[in-house]
Structure 1
Amino acid sequence: MTKVIKTVIIDDEPYSRDELKFLLEQYEDIDIVAEADSGEKGLEMVMTKEPDVIFVDIEMPQMSGLELVKVLQNLKKMPLIIFATAYPDYAAKAFRVQALDYLVKPFDEDQLSETMARITERLTTKETNDERAKSSARLAVEHDGRIVYVSPLDITYVFREDRETMICTKVRTFNTKTPIKELEEKLRGFSFYRTHKSYLVNLDKVEQLIPWFNGAYQVKVEGQKEEIPVSRNYVKGLRERLEL
């Protein structure tokens, strides 16, 4: 299956946006999730849409493309940056802020094709590195006076009971004093979802979503007999994460 590349176009010139949008739509793996006509709106779109890549003009009023990228460098998940501009003299400055590529207007289809190849290569490499990091990562859990290292990939769900947090795998359960909110933050890079104020579920382990009452549901995860509650406020988000 082709990986979808979430893309945002940021340019104050509508004709340039339309031209680039037309060219990018020829690539089936590109999904243009937003457009913006200013650096300020572009920043908002990046924060809300979390794209994989942005195509951004350099010369824009108020917040320029270079200023926007300098702000984005503070993000934990920074998108790939492709500058698109009519001014080739900015190339050196663009690469100083770690841009992946630099397109000069009017856009050349062959040059765009080379840019797309770089984007695909970089995202593929990043995805492979992320998967390697995940496979080797361990969650340190204080359990019965010892520190036990648990792979997040083995955790089916986590729940809070009284003043203890239970971390459940297929083979055993670990008790810890660590609050569930703190564990949720540590597991943010993995497929975990809060289904209830006291439950955190590994979406990769979900087998069934079962209607309960008053719009609430329960989920069944592999290797566990217990059915886990899903509050009404979390149902929509859960289904969006689970379903194609």
Structure 2
Amino acid sequence: MKLRIRVMVVDDEPLSREELKHLLCVYEQVELVGEADCGESALEKIVMLEPDVVFLDIEMAEMSGLSLARMLQRMKQPPSIVFATAYPNYAVEAFRYEAVDYLLKPFDEGQVGETVLRLIRKFEKERLDSSEHTLRKLAIEGEDGIVYVSPHDILYCCREIKETLIVTKQKRYCTKVSLKELEQKLKGNLFFRPHKSYLVNVQKVEQLTPWFNGAYQLTLSGTDEKIPVSRNYVKALRQRLEL
């Protein structure tokens, strides 16, 4: 399974955002899932898109990057942070938020490459650590107790308002656990995130069909439900599925 690092760029300067996106998009492990021009918008998108890494400017109007980083640290599964700023004097404070790196503007192609390499090493290590402790059964807490479900029996999971639905051929389970937390727990098993609201068992995939605007739909064995595949994920999904 190829490593895929979901990245968001937050900067109130459009040219800086475009430059950084251009430098990042050359790395096949990096998937740009979103961008924002202010802290308030970034917070909303981070909650919705659940990126693995946020490249974050510090000096922004209304909410600074440091203030946003402070808020992100309160999340159950906070994204990793790379500060990207024109001001070197914030470095010491920035690393209090466990920043992976600190990039200075104007961005240097080599330094951005070193940052990406550092991120790749970090997530590869996390994946290796996770695979060494592969989940045997998923514990789903409910009103009547804890149900244990084999990951191989799960067809797909999806987010519905404030709950996550876990679907097997026999039954559906509801949990308060977020989709990102489930994705972390199921690492080392054959699961793929084809859409921000879905996580699917690739062993159950039977067909991939065009939908509209470059998006696709998945047909899974054991269910009539059609699973959406965002166009940004189609290539990665095919690489997982095809010989």
Q: Which amino acid aligns with 1:20?
A: L
Deviations 1:171-210 (A, max 9, x none): xx9x9xxx832498799343499xxxxxxx972442546x
Deviations 1:31-69 (A, max 9, x none): 222121111111122122221211110111111101111
Q: TM-score, normalised by structure 2?
A: 0.66
| Whole-angstrom CA distance in 1 between matches of 2:147 and 2:48 | 34
1:203 maps to 201
Using the size of structure 1 for normalisation, the TM-score is 0.66
Q: Could you tell me how far apart the structure 2 residues matched to 1:202 and 1:60 are?
A: 38
Change (3 A) 1:42 1:207: closer
State whether residues 155 and 202 of structure 1, in contact with CA within 8 Å, keep that contact through their aligned partners in structure 2: no
Q: Distance in 2 between matches of 1:202 and 1:236?
A: 8
Residue 168 and residue 125 in structure 1: after superposition, are their counterparts in 2 closer, same or farther (change >3 A)?
A: same
Establish whether residue 188 from structure 1 lines up as the match of residue 182 from structure 2: yes
In the other structure, the counterpart of 1:113 is: 113
In 2, Cα distance between the equivalents of 1:4 and 1:218?
23
- Give the length in aligned residue pairs: 203
Moved more, 19-28 or 91-100: 19-28
Give the Å deviation of 1:150.
5.2
Please give the residue correspondences for 1:83-232 in structure 2 after superposition, counting only pairs within 5 Å: 83-136=83-136, 139=139, 152-155=150-153, 180-182=173-175, 188-189=182-183, 190=186, 191=191, 203-206=201-204, 208=206, 219-220=220-221, 227-230=222-225
Match for residue 19 of structure 1?
19
Compute the RMSD of aligned alpha carbons: 4.0
- What is the distance in 2 between the residues matched to 1:37 and 1:182? 33
Higher mean C-alpha displacement, 61-70 vs 184-193: 184-193
The residue type equivalent to 2:153 in the other structure is I
Task: Give how far 1:236 is off.
Answer: 3.6
CA 1:184–1:93 in 2, change beyond 3 Å: closer, same or farther? closer
Confirm whether residue 70 of structure 1 aligns to residue 54 of structure 2: no
Counting aligned pairs with the same residue, the percent is 34
Q: Which aligned pairs between 1:33-52 and structure 2 lie closer than 5 A?
A: 33-52=33-52
Greater relative CO (CA pairs within 8 A, separation 6+): 2
Q: Which runs of 5+ in 2 are unaligned?
A: 157-166, 194-198, 208-217, 239-243
The one-letter code matched in structure 1 to 2:73 is Q
